Amino acid sequence: MTEKIILNENRFFDPDPSIRKIARELYEGVKDLPIISPHGHVDPRLFSENSPFPDPTELIFIPDHYIFRMLYSQGKLMESLGVPTVDGSWTETDHRKIWQIFGEHFSLFAGTPTGVWLAHELKEVFGIEEKLNKETAQNIYDQIQEKLKTPAYLPRALYDRFNIEVLSTTDKATDTLEHHQTIRESEWDGRVIPCFRPDAVVDIASPDWISNIELLSETARIEIDSYRRYIEALEKRRTFFKSMGATSTDHAVLVPYTHRFSENEVESIFQRALRAESTTEDCADFTAHMLMEFARMSIEDGLVMQIHPGSYRDHNLAVYEKFGTDKGCDIPIQTEYTHNLKELLNVYGNDMRLTLIVFTLDESTYSRELAPLAGHYPAMRLGPPWWFHDSIEGMTRFRQRVIETAGVYNTVGFNDDTRAFPSIPARHDVSRRIDSNFLASLVARHIIDKREAESLSHALAYDLVKKAYKLD
C-alpha cells in the first residue's frame, strides 16, 4: 500500500497541549502574511524569461546542494546526479534516471530540514499525495512534469501563488542586471530586486581576481590602475544597483576581522595584488580594510550591509576542482566577533544611518558575543540561522540564546537563502511555525502575555525583515 504524505496541522509545535494551542493560534495569525525573501540565490532569468521549467529534476534536484550533498555523503557520484563539471566532462543527462536515484534514497532526508521542506513542496506546491520512494518515483515525476507544462506553474505564476511581496537575488558587482531590467520593463508587477555582492573583486587571494578587476573596469567604465580608482568603480556600481532597486549588499568573509589601513598601505597591497604578488597577510588585511570601506559606503548610499562570516568555502578540493563552487562543501569554522568587529563598530556602529546585519554559522557565539553586541550597538542587527542551522532545532536554539539579551527587535526575522525557488514557501512556513512555538512557550510560562506574543509573531514573520532591509 502506498504511503501518503501527511502534513499534520500541528507539526513542529510542542506536544504539551497548553503550548501547542497557543502556538497554533499565533501561527494562524501569520501563516498567510506575504513572504519577503530579502536574501537568496534564485536566478532572475526565471522571471525575465518566464519560460516553463524543463522538468522536475532540473527544477527541484540539480539547483539544491542540500539534496545532492546528502547523496554524495552516502557514496553517490556527483556525475551520476547530473551536477555539471567545470571542464564539461560527462555527467548524467537522463533526468528520469537521476530522479529515480533521488527517490530510491529519499529516506536519507528523514529528520532533516530538507526532508521537511520537500514534503511540504511536493504536497502543497505540486499536489503530490504519495511519499517519494523507489516505487513511486516515476509516477511522481510524471505528475510534476504534467503540471510544469501548464501556465499555473510558470515562474511568475508561482511567485504570485506563493504570495511573495519581494524577492532579492544575489548578484556580482560586475553583473549587468539585464534580467532585472527586463523584469522592470515588463507588465508583470512582481518585485524582484538585486543585491550587490562584491566578493569576487575583493578576494585578492582568488586566482580569478585580476580578471574580475578587468571586468569591473569594463562594467564601471573606469580604468582601475589604483586603489582610489577601484573604490570609485565600486561606488559607481553600487549606485547602479541602487537605481535597479537594490536595498542591500552582501559580504562573505572567512573571518570578520575589520581594520582601516592608511591609503598608502592599502595602495601598496592593491598594487601587489595587480602584479599577482599578494601575501597571505595582504589578503586578510585587504578584506579587513574593505569591510570598513563598505560600511562607510553604506552610510553614504543607504544600502543595508550584510556580513556572512565563518564559512570555509569549497573544503573538498576534489569536488571544487571538478565541479566548481557552491557544491555543498562549505563547512563552518569557529568564529570570533567581539575583537574582530570592534574597530568597525566603534567607527560606524553608533551611526543610525548604518544597518549592519551579521550572520553566523558558529552557534557558540550567539549568547556569548552576537546577542550582547546587537543588544548594544544601534547599527547592528542579527541575521537568522542559515545553512546547517536553518532547521527546526537550529531556529529554536537561536531564539533561546539570543532573545533574552538582544530582544526580538534587534533581529531581522527570517530569510530563506535558497537557490531552490519552489522551496521558498516551505522554508517560510517552517520559520513561522517555529517562531510561533517559541513565543507560545514564553506565554505558557507567563514571561510575555498573549497580546505581546501576537505582536512579536507578526514582527518576526513580516515587520522586522521589511524594516531592516528598507523594503517599505
Residues 92-125 have pLDDT tens digits of 999 999 999 999 999 999 999 999 999 999 999 9
Domain boundaries, the chain: 17-51+161-468, 52-153
pLDDT per position as a tens digit, 326-375: 888 899 999 999 999 999 999 999 999 999 999 999 999 999 999 999 99
- Bridge partners of 36? 166
Contact indicator for 177, 241 with CB cutoff of 8 Å: yes
pLDDT one-digit tens code per residue, 290-305: 999 999 999 999 999 9
> Which cell is 17 given?
497541549
Whether the predicted pLDDT of 277 surpasses 70 = yes
Give me the pLDDT at residue 328, please. Answer: 83
Alpha-carbon torsion, ordered 46, 47, 49, 50, to 10 deg: 90
Residue 1 has pLDDT above 80, yes or no: no
Shared fold status for 17-51+161-468 and 52-153: no
Would you say residue 64 has pLDDT above 90? Answer: no
Give CA separation, 90 vs 65, 87, 98, in Å: 19, 9, 14
Cell, residue 236: 559607481
Give dist(CA 160, CA 162) in Å, integer.
Answer: 5
Specify the pTM.
Answer: 0.96
In terms of CATH, what superfamily is 17-51+161-468? Answer: Metal-dependent hydrolases (3.20.20.140)
Mean residue pLDDT across the chain: 96
Q: Identify the three-state secondary structure at position 269.
A: helix
Residue 250, strand partner residues: 306
Q: How far is CA 214 from the centre of its chain?
A: 28
What's the rounded Cα separation, in Å, for the pair 180 and 192? 7
Other residues' Cβ atoms within 10 Å of the Cβ of residue 107: 12
Mean pLDDT within 55-82: 93
| pLDDT given at position 325 | 87
What fold characterizes domain 52-153? uronate isomerase, domain 2, chain A (1.10.2020)
